[in-house]
Amino acid sequence: MQLGLIGLGKMGKNMRERIRRAGIEVVGYDRNPAVSDVASLEDLVAALAAPRIVWIMVPHGDPTTQTVAALKELLDPGDLVIDGGNSYYKDDAVNADSLAERDIHYVDCGVSGGVWGLEEGYGLMAGGSREDVERAMPIFDALRPEGPREDGFAHSGEVGAGHYAKMVHNGIEYGLMHAYAEGWELLEAKDIVTDVHGTFRAWTRGTVVRSWLLDLMVKALEETPHLEGVSEFTTDSGEGRWTLMEGIDNAVPMPVLAAALFARFTSRQENSPQMQAVAALRGQFGGHAVQMLDDKADVNPAAQPKVERGQSTEPS
């Protein structure tokens, strides 16, 4: 069996290696010639015997759309394209319909596993026809973790279902990460807890909050105790926003995801405009001190109280 793999970044390169270990021939293409097996998409297609299977592992949006358009002109009827990136699920129908004009088949596949997938395997969520998914099953089996197929792979539904499932997965991930982060900050804030890292490590066995994310939190604290020097600036790659939009469209309350996503937005603001407004309002209605950015001018500086943790300075 052969596979063409487009995109050999942090995940794609490891996926190529894991699939090869399963005995499947992989021809990889990347714009970086240092990691690419061939010089162009044309060379990749020429190296595969028809009917071909080509897996796209590039950033969502224009890079994926452009790659699908290029493959539409290069592949033959009966070939199969799998999009394994983090594409927006509504794009899948557009890409599938475009390829169908030349009788080229399409499957979308949500992939979870990050840089650890090479050794641990990847969680996979596929969307497409039963026939197309079955055709690619040896590849999915090579990528998923060892053990029963259903523990690491799901045929989630029709085209778009795989990326929809991965989108929701990432939305849940946002909430879990933020819950651990809040717990870590509270433990660090209280002097009574002197071994925060050890406490987190103890949670990794036998407790109801154990998870792989918790294991990674312990690893992060081992590498950087108290997370000294780590910037709070946190990006988001889109899936959290899309999940929240779906919650709104379907009247599904998602306060945990909303809080986690908005916290990421806040992390990118050097000086939050919202909190500037709050500080100014507190100065107006309660005479509370308003600290200025140049640290030189205060409004009603005599009103600045000394606040102990847990006390409130709001007027009663």
Active site residues: 166, 173
Distances 226 to 9, 20, 49, 119, 267 between C-alpha atoms, Å: 30, 40, 54, 29, 18
Nearest Cα neighbor of 213 from 244, 183, 189, 191 is 183
Distances 127 to 19, 85, 93, 162, 171 between C-alpha atoms, Å: 20, 13, 11, 4, 19
Q: Are 45 and 81 in contact (CB under 8 A)?
A: no
Q: How far apart, in whole angstroms, are the C-alpha atoms of residue 263 and residue 214?
A: 19
Looking at residue 277, its amino acid is A
- DSSP string spanning 284-308? HHH---EE-TTSS-EESGGG-----
What's the full length of the chain, in residues? 316
Looking at residue 205, its amino acid is R
